[in-house]
Amino acid sequence: MIIMRFSLSLFFCILIFSLSLPVFARQQEINSPDASAAQAAAAVGQPSGPVAVPEPSEKALRYHQSGIVLWLFGTFWGILIPALFLFTGLSARIRTLAQKIGRKWFFVIAIYLTIFTLILYVIDLPLAYYSGFVREHSYGLSNQSLGKWFSDSTIALAIEIVVNAIFLWLPYLLLRRSPKRWWFYTGLLAIPFLILATLIQPIWIDPLFNDFGPMKNKGLETKILALADRAGISGGRVYEVNKSADTKTLNAYVNGFGQTKRIVLWDTTIARMNENELLFVMGHEMGHYVLGHVWKLIGFLSALIMLTLFLIHRTAGWMINRFRDKFGFDSLSDIASYPLIILLFSGYLFIAQPIAMSFNRWIEHESDRFGLEITRNNRDAATAFVKLQEDNLSVPRPHWLDRMWRASHPTLGERIDFCNEYRPGKRASRSNTSIFSNRLIDK
């Protein structure tokens, strides 16, 4: 719910990107070493042939269905709460209070945002506690202690307050100085902000929540580094994180930018998968790295933010004219308008969600292909996805509407099918894969 709340907030939409690059870049397992290893496996009697997509367990179906209900409720909640701040006049009252305390324009903005964020945190707390702690435990997906959950939640709140105070005065300054073009300048400013957020996340944000270090299994690390070398990624960019403190689910991700760019493997994944499966997972992540997906996501998100800000610009005035008596403000440049911006932002992002998800699924699919090309072991890739499905209580073939709005990755059914069908090396030079295929050929 904290993440959900981030998504409501103008600039936190940006942070959600950086925070959720992991989310975007996640769930890539499947591994396959190379053809000779596959032949060796076959020679010693290990199974070969296509890997079946398992039927979801009854528990997975329940988790999935209740997850949809929770998502729908969270979406509704994300519109309802900012609306309440507006229509009850609460937002205007917080602004008046902030003016009394802060006096100077900049401090009024910072104080308003801090009070608003704190109230929102308290309102969201029960739902956040249920969805992030109670529910995960009741399905056996978490062994996180209540203390760790609460400390993570408080740290996220502190980050949100600090980031709001540092950055959110900028769009309000632009709203005052350039009421007609503020959306354009704010959209432009979002680009360096996104880059900055992506750059500092792995070194300043992530370590506040978990411990990151080199791989503990040195034999595995050597193989991963050899794979990274073949993918053209310099050493020292692979990290292990102690996610077992938080969850029993599996994952890996790429994040960072420039010098901070890295691949992170959850220790839960290391414990659950065999070496070949892990190598496929890493091959997938290396695909994100080599194929420039961080840049592509930043470009895509920048365009989405610009468009959304433009739509807010075109519609907020009408809302304010219509409801100014209830809202208690008559201009978008008044900080009391913040819940209105959040509300409109959430609404437009909800509409744009299928496009964003579809873009992300394409990126993920390209990384799956890369992983298969570099490891050449389709079967281990497929079994890695099977483990992902089982351990994360995923449903392999969700309803198309669910897929459209919520699937940031191809469904696990699609991914396992792809592993069964795809023939590495057959697609020599197509845009993305050519970067790597060339290297393979050179080798």
Q: For 429, phi and psi rounded to 5 degrees?
A: -125, 85
Q: For 241, phi and psi rounded to 5 degrees?
A: -125, 145
Q: What element of type H or E holds 213? A: strand 212-213
What is the smallest separation between the CB atom of 25 and Zn ion, expressed in angstroms?
4
Restricting to residues 245-284, which ones interact with Zn ion according to CB under 5 A?
Answer: none
Residue 229 CA to residue 252 CA, distance in Å, equals 19
What is the smallest separation between the CB atom of 351 and Zn ion, expressed in angstroms?
25
By CB under 5 A, the count of residues binding Zn ion is: 4
Q: Contact 33/104 with Cβ under 8 angstroms?
A: no
What is the smallest separation between the CB atom of 371 and Zn ion, expressed in angstroms?
9
What is the smallest separation between the CB atom of 258 and Zn ion, expressed in angstroms?
20
Q: Which of 7, 9, 18, 28 binds Zn ion (CB under 5 A)?
A: 28
What is the smallest separation between the CB atom of 320 and Zn ion, expressed in angstroms?
41
What is the smallest separation between the CB atom of 252 and Zn ion, expressed in angstroms?
8
Residue 38 CA to residue 36 CA, distance in Å, equals 5
What is the smallest separation between the CB atom of 251 and Zn ion, expressed in angstroms?
10
Residue 279 CA to residue 190 CA, distance in Å, equals 36
Angle, CA of 161, 247 and 383, to the nearest 5°: 130
Look-up of token digits 């719910």: 1
- Residues with a catalytic annotation lie at 285
**DSSP code of residue 252:** E
Q: Of the two residues 297 and 316, which places its CB atom closer to Zn ion in the complex? A: 297
Q: Which of 267, 364, 366, 414 binds Zn ion (CB under 5 A)?
A: 364
CA-closest candidate to residue 385, choices 402, 372, 399, 366 = 372
Q: Which range of residues in 136-144, 267-275, 344-352, 359-367 is near Zn ion by CB under 5 A?
A: 359-367
Residue 380 CA to residue 33 CA, distance in Å, equals 8
CA-closest candidate to residue 220, choices 240, 201, 195, 234 = 240
What is the smallest separation between the CB atom of 367 and Zn ion, expressed in angstroms?
5
Rounded to the nearest 10°, the torsion over CA 54, 60, 62, 67 is -120
User: H-type helices in 103-217, by residue range?
Assistant: 105-129, 135-138, 146-167, 169-177, 182-200
Q: Contact 201/175 with Cβ under 8 angstroms?
A: no
Please report whether residue 206 would count as binding Zn ion according to CB under 5 A: no
Q: Of the two residues 7 and 27, which places its CB atom closer to Zn ion in the complex? A: 27
Q: Of the two residues 75 and 411, which places its CB atom closer to Zn ion in the complex? A: 411
Q: Which range of residues in 25-33, 77-85, 388-396, 433-441 is near Zn ion by CB under 5 A?
A: 25-33
Q: Of the two residues 149 and 370, which places its CB atom closer to Zn ion in the complex? A: 370
- Residue of minimal Cβ distance to Zn ion: 28
Q: Which of 13, 25, 163, 197 binds Zn ion (CB under 5 A)?
A: 25
Q: Which range of residues in 39-47, 200-208, 356-364, 369-377 is near Zn ion by CB under 5 A?
A: 356-364
Q: Of the two residues 8 and 25, which places its CB atom closer to Zn ion in the complex? A: 25
Q: Of the two residues 28 and 249, which places its CB atom closer to Zn ion in the complex? A: 28
Q: Of the two residues 21 and 304, which places its CB atom closer to Zn ion in the complex? A: 21
Residue 158 CA to residue 142 CA, distance in Å, equals 24
DSSP codes joined into one string, 261-308? -EEEEEHHHHHHS-HHHHHHHHHHHHHHHHTTHHHHHHHHHHHHHHHH
CA-closest candidate to residue 168, choices 10, 298, 18 = 10
Q: Of the two residues 25 and 372, which places its CB atom closer to Zn ion in the complex? A: 25
Footprint on this chain of Zn ion (rule: CB under 5 A): 25, 28, 364, 367
